[in-house]
């Protein structure tokens, strides 16, 4: 039941599956000539019931748009074997379901009604009404739809004719009639509990199995109490006249469950009299039923039995011992056989029954006919009535447990009632014995049916018909789905969940594949098509797409091989830009670890070369050649073909040669050295007071005073001491700086500190007049050097080392606590692979793996924002009175929308003077992974998730964790960065709009272009293990609140001094 979409994709419809059996419709009814729509004549004595039932079908109405009921070729699955019934308006066919190897009945509407809106509406109503029921006394519908001939129902085939066949003209025995009516009452009660009113109960609509089991059918006129579809209009008369209660004859809109019970009583009347209830004469029914039918057939609904249970138990009581009226007994009379005995006898001469009872007050023995106890004087009639009322309540409890499918509890209550020995309570003892027998029978039948339904579901699943399998399993009563047996050790609920997941995944894949094909986004699509093919290998359109994508992959592989070879050549030639351009030709599907590693190397070299050029340009511009030559040499190793760097290298080498001559100057004597060192320390202290940071070798003139030395440090010219000869070094020919630079520039992004004095003949360069003070400046330079950006993967110890290094560089602690008691950890800059590899279990198609570099460190809350923290800032409690909430100041705040979280950040930022915000999606995933490339921050084993987070469901190893609310934060293990609950507890909002990932490498990404939905990450207490993976993504509207939504804070960290 599917049709191809664009490019062969199939639009799967979740319908009632073609899988089980339906019912044989009736032969002629003696009432048909009185139940037809006025003016509509019968065309055949054999009828489906449609033409013999009032309903006012609009045969002239045009067919509505029925795209949701696609045309189905029944011959593909069903083999027609004959006709069970036929009339002017439709037919019922006997067929074999070739998949399930069983008989079914196919009910079809023909002729003008096949094009009627009303006919289609009735068919859908009947299908939906019966499909929700699961009862042995209701005919099952397995599927519905539309063939080229019109709408159809696939029904359970019932092979014993109709109840009308058995009671048309001839009465059936009282006991048989009562038992049949009680069984039908059970099925009708099930329908009423589901809010369904049949509206057309009659013998022709009761099908009989060969073993005599009755089944209600033809719910085509059913009314759904929760919201009728409008087919019943005020003043309309629907049903069969002879079996209609008075209110239904006046107006079908007035009926309720009590109306069905009137019709069932009328059906019972025909069973015990063999006559139509057109004219009801209670003097013709068995005496034991007179009182019962008199009440059941009252004109006013309030005067009848009010529900199916009351109807059934009153009817069953007509077959048991009559209610005992002690006041009717004479002295010596037996209440069981009415024999008259001597007053002193203890047991009846007629039946052997006890003639004594126990006082219900003092437990003394007294004759059964005595109204008052001779020992305590209590009125036995009053006590019996009280006890009967108690047993009536227990009877209702037993029936309630039976309706809830708790067979053991129902039998236990009935056994308690049965064990009453007082003959005055005999009615309930007889009832309990019959009830226990019925329960045991129903339990056996129910499990036989459940096994049959599960076998049916397995057959459908094997045929990849997941909607049919789901429908079969949904017929298992919900309370019994959790029961485990040796055959179903995991319970039917787990089987149902698995099939639902398969169907859901099929739909998701179908939609995604359709969208990708329409948008011509074919990269990575083959994996999804293969997944869909594994779920639906019967789909020819999926096979076609798969074949085309496989051919495309082979073509791309050739392109990849060629591009990779060229990229290797360009890498060897140090042409990094061209190399990256070649890598850009490689489809993401072929970007394996070796390619990604090489791309990373190219990007690292290109980045380092750019960094070195910035350092060199700055040094040249500020005429600071000290220490420059190693940087130039490193740059030339990365890019040998760089004429400007080669020329500068030659200049610096010449300078080094000239400076080497200064090493011949005589060594200063010890006293001069000591004096100059003292002056050097004084100058350093002075310059520190002025905030000057040194990063080189300080030169101090021998005979210059403190003032003169200070002037030279600040860049002023200093008179040379003419008493000592000098050896001036010619100025190095360096380019003129493009702008004015400070003599002592601050730390630049390159991580370098330039030297302070240019080597020039205008400055004293006599090494004999200088001392070197290096220790302090070397240490300071080390602390100012930015740590290298770590590249994942790295270990937990390395993660903590990276945090410590960046903390030292920023002169900030690794962790600090803010004004509301929230702890935040420093997260270092870093490079990692965002998204998930194709091999990761339960990977989603929106997790395209790509390289991301975060160039700036930041702080992130160690936990999610708590209820206490939220209330201290916002003064509100969004979660108050909501479902699935445990209140507590340390519990994660929930029911927080993205808009709410942003407002929290704004208010806290204003309070503290810091810039709090939501993390970007890249920042969140980098912090979550903490150096790992696995599915979780602790590895790939989902069985360990409970150690790190709160989640709900079953993991891949069968371990389960059932949660009911968000928990207190920080109770589980932290990841390598010291962050808690990154997996589970509550989903955490990110700042990004939701969108597809790019395939190319990204630097400091901010997410997709503005859209309508924001991203949240991390999984929650309500989600399974796969949703808690580091790469898993979810999204929703910014204003959306839920019991699983919270957030954690990010804080920007300064990286410049």
What are 356's strand-pairing partners? 367
Strand bridging mode 953-954 / 960-961: antiparallel
pLDDT of 781 reads: 39
What span, in angstroms and rounded, lies between the C-alpha atoms of 884 and 868? Answer: 18
Short-list 774, 878, 866, 770, CA closest to 820: 866
The answer to whether residues 457 and 495 touch, using CB atoms and an 8 Å cutoff, is yes
Short-list 420, 475, 485, CA closest to 446: 475
Tell me whether residue 669 is exposed, middle or buried, using C-beta atoms within 10 angstroms of its C-beta: 0 to 12, 13 to 18, 19 or more. exposed
pLDDT of 475 reads: 82
Tell me whether residue 666 is exposed, middle or buried, using C-beta atoms within 10 angstroms of its C-beta: 0 to 12, 13 to 18, 19 or more. exposed
pLDDT of 441 reads: 87
End-to-end CA distance of the chain: 69
Tokens 């403190």 correspond to: 706
Short-list 1010, 977, 984, CA closest to 995: 1010
The count of other CB atoms within 10 Å of the CB of residue 394 is 15
What span, in angstroms and rounded, lies between the C-alpha atoms of 905 and 865? Answer: 11
The answer to whether residues 120 and 110 touch, using CB atoms and an 8 Å cutoff, is no
Short-list 171, 262, 263, 163, CA closest to 204: 163
Distances (CA, A) of 642 to 575, 621, 647, 737, 968: 11, 19, 9, 21, 60
Short-list 228, 238, 218, 241, CA closest to 196: 228
What span, in angstroms and rounded, lies between the C-alpha atoms of 355 and 144? Answer: 63
The answer to whether residues 116 and 125 touch, using CB atoms and an 8 Å cutoff, is no
- CATH code at 6-317: 1.10.510.10
pLDDT of 318 reads: 82
pLDDT of 938 reads: 95
The answer to whether residues 847 and 877 touch, using CB atoms and an 8 Å cutoff, is no
Q: What is the dihedral of CA 800, 801, 807, 808, to 10 degrees?
A: 150
With vertex at residue 106, the alpha carbon angle to CA 100 and CA 112, rounded to the nearest 5 degrees, is 150
Helix (H, G, I), strand (E, B) or coil at 203: helix
Helix (H, G, I), strand (E, B) or coil at 403: helix
Q: What is the dihedral of CA 440, 441, 443, 448, to 10 degrees?
A: 140
- CATH code at 796-1052: 3.90.1580.10
Q: What is the dihedral of CA 505, 507, 510, 514, to 10 degrees?
A: -130
What span, in angstroms and rounded, lies between the C-alpha atoms of 556 and 1023? Answer: 38
SS (H, E, C) 294-316: HHHCCCCHHHCCCCHHHHHHHHH
Residue 44, Ramachandran bin (φ over 0: left; ψ between -120 and 50: alpha; else beta):
beta
Half-sphere exposure of 573 (CA within 13 A, CB side): 11
SS (H, E, C) 929-972: HCCCCCCECCECCHHHHHHHCCCCEECCCCCEECCCCCCECCCC
Short-list 952, 579, 957, 939, CA closest to 795: 939
Tell me whether residue 144 is exposed, middle or buried, using C-beta atoms within 10 angstroms of its C-beta: 0 to 12, 13 to 18, 19 or more. buried
- Write phi, then psi, for 196 (nearest 5 degrees): -110, 125
Tokens 């796969």 correspond to: 1026
Residue 131 makes CB contacts below 8 A (sequence gap 6+) with 16, 141, 471
Q: How does DSSP classify residue 33?
A: G
CA 317 to chain centre: 50
What span, in angstroms and rounded, lies between the C-alpha atoms of 532 and 164? Answer: 51
Helix (H, G, I), strand (E, B) or coil at 122: helix
CA 154 to chain centre: 33
What span, in angstroms and rounded, lies between the C-alpha atoms of 310 and 306? Answer: 7
Helix (H, G, I), strand (E, B) or coil at 997: coil
Walk along the chain (1057 residues) in steps of 10 and give the mean pLDDT of each run: 33 29 30 30 28 34 47 87 77 89 86 69 70 80 80 86 88 90 89 84 91 83 46 44 87 83 94 90 90 92 90 82 54 80 85 83 83 83 84 87 89 89 74 87 86 88 90 86 81 89 91 88 86 91 92 87 91 91 82 81 88 90 88 91 91 85 50 56 52 38 38 36 35 36 31 34 38 36 69 94 92 94 96 94 91 95 98 95 90 96 94 93 97 95 92 58 83 96 96 93 90 93 89 92 94 62
What span, in angstroms and rounded, lies between the C-alpha atoms of 542 and 536? Answer: 8
The answer to whether residues 204 and 164 touch, using CB atoms and an 8 Å cutoff, is yes
pLDDT of 973 reads: 95
Q: Where are the domains of the chain?
A: 6-317, 326-444, 667-784, 796-1052
Short-list 206, 198, 658, 136, CA closest to 446: 136
């Amino acid at each position: 039941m599917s049709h191809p979409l664009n490019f062969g994709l199939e639009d799967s419809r979740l319908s009632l599956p073609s899988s089980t059996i339906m019912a044989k419709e009736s032969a002629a009814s003696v009432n048909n000539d009185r139940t037809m729509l006025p003016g509509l004549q019968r065309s055949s004595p054999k009828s489906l019931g449609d033409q013999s039932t009032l309903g006012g079908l609009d045969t002239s109405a045009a067919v509505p748009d029925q795209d949701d009921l696609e045309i189905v070729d029944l011959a593909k699955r069903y083999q027609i074997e004959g006709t069970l019934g036929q009339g002017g308006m439709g037919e019922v066919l006997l067929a074999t379901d070739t998949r399930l190897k069983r008989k079914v009945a196919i009910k079809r509407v023909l002729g003008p009604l096949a094009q009627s809106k009303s006919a289609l509406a009735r068919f859908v109503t009947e299908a939906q009404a019966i499909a929700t029921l699961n009862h042995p006394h209701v005919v099952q519908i397995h599927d519905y739809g539309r063939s080229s001939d019109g709408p159809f129902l696939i029904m359970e085939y019932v092979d014993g004719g109709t109840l009308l066949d058995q009671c048309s003209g001839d009465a059936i025995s009282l006991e048989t009639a009562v038992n049949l009516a009680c069984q039908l009452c059970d099925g009708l009660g099930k329908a009423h509990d589901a809010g369904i009113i049949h509206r057309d109960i009659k013998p022709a609509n009761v099908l009989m199995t060969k073993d005599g089991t009755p089944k209600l059918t033809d719910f085509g006129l059913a009314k759904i109490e929760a919201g009728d579809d409008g087919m019943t209009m005020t003043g309309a008369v629907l049903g069969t006249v002879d079996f209609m209660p008075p209110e239904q004859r006046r107006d079908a809109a007035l009926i309720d469950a009590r109306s069905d019970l009137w019709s069932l009583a009328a059906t019972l009347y025909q069973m015990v009299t063999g006559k139509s209830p057109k004219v009801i004469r209670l003097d013709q029914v068995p005496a034991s039923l007179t009182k019962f039918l008199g009440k059941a057939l009252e004109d006013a609904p309030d005067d009848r039995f009010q529900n199916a249970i009351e109807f059934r138990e009153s009817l069953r009581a007509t077959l048991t011992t009559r209610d005992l009226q002690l006041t009717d007994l004479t002295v010596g009379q037996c209440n069981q056989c009415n024999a008259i005995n001597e007053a002193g006898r203890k047991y009846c001469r007629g039946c052997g029954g006890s003639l004594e009872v126990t006082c219900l007050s003092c437990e003394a023995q007294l004759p059964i006919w005595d109204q008052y106890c001779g020992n305590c004087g209590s009125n036995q009639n009053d006590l019996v009535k009280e006890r009967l009322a108690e047993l009536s309540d227990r009877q209702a409890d037993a029936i309630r447990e039976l309706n809830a499918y708790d067979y053991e509890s129902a039998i236990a209550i009935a056994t308690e009632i049965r064990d009453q020995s007082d003959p005055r309570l005999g009615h309930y003892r007889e009832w309990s014995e019959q009830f226990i027998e019925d329960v045991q029978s129903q339990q056996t039948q129910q499990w036989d049916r459940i096994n049959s339904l599960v076998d049916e579901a397995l057959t459908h699943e094997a045929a990849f018909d997941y909607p049919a399998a789901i429908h079969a399993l949904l017929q298992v009563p919900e309370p019994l789905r959790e029961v485990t047996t040796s055959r179903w050790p995991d319970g039917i609920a787990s089987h149902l969940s698995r099939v639902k997941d398969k169907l859901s995944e099929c739909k998701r894949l179908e939609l995604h594949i359709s969208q990708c094909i329409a948008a011509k986004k074919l990269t990575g699509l083959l994996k999804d098509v293969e997944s869909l093919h594994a779920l639906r290998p019967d789909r020819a359109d999926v096979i076609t797409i798969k074949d085309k994508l496989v051919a495309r992959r082979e073509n791309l592989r050739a392109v990849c091989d060629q591009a990779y070879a060229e990229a290797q050549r360009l890498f060897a030639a140090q042409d990094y830009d061209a190399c990256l351009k070649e890598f850009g030709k490689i489809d993401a599907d072929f970007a394996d670890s070796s390619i990604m590693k090489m791309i990373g190397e190219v990007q690292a070299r290109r980045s380092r070369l750019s960094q070195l050029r910035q350092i060199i340009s700055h040094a040249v511009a500020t005429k600071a050649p000290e220490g420059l030559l190693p940087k130039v040499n490193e740059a030339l190793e990365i890019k040998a073909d760089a004429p400007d760097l080669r020329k500068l290298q030659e200049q610096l080498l010449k300078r080094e040669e000239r400076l080497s001559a200064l090493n011949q100057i005589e060594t200063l004597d010890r006293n001069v050295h000591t004096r100059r060192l003292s002056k050097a320390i004084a100058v350093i202290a002075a310059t520190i007071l002025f905030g000057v940071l040194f990063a080189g070798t300080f030169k101090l003139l021998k005979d210059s005073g403190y003032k003169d030395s200070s002037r030279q440090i600040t860049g002023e010219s200093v008179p040379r001491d003419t008493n000592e000869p000098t050896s001036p070094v010619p100025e190095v020919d360096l380019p003129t700086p493009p702008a004015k630079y400070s003599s002592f520039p601050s730390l630049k992004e390159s991580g370098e500190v330039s030297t302070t004095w240019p080597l020039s003949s205008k400055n004293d360069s006599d090494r004999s007049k200088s001392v070197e003070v290096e220790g302090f400046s070397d240490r300071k330079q080390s602390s100012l050097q930015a740590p290298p950006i770590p590249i994942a993967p790295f270990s937990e110890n390395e993660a903590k080392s990276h945090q410590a290094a960046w903390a030292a560089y920023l002169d900030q602690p690794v962790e600090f606590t803010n004004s509301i008691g929230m702890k935040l950890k420093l997260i270092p800059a870093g490079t990692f692979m965002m998204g998930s590899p194709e091999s990761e279990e339960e990977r989603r198609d929106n997790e395209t793996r790509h390289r991301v570099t975060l160039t700036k460190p930041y702080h992130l809350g160690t936990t999610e924002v708590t209820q206490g923290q939220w209330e201290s800032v916002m003064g509100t409690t969004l979660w108050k009175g909501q479902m699935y909430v445990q209140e507590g100041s340390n519990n994660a705040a929930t029911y927080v929308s993205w808009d709410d979280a942003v407002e929290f950040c704004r208010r806290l930022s204003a309070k503290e003077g810091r810039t709090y915000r939501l993390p970007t999606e890249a920042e969140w995933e980098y912090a979550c992974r903490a150096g790992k490339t696995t599915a979780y921050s602790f590895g790939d084993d989902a069985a360990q998730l409970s150690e790190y987070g709160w989640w709900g469901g079953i993991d891949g190893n069968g371990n389960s964790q059932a949660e009911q609310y968000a928990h207190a934060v920080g109770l589980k293990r932290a990841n390598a960065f010291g962050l808690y609950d990154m997996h589970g507890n509550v989903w955490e909002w990110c700042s990004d709009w939701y969108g597809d990932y790019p395939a190319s490498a990204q630097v400091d990404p901010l997410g997709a272009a503005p859209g309508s939905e924001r991203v949240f990450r991390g999984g929650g207490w309500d989600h399974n293990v796969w949703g808690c993976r580091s790469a898993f993504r979810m999204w929703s509207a910014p204003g959306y609140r839920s019991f699983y939504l919270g957030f954690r804070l990010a804080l920007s960290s300064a990286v410049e001094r």
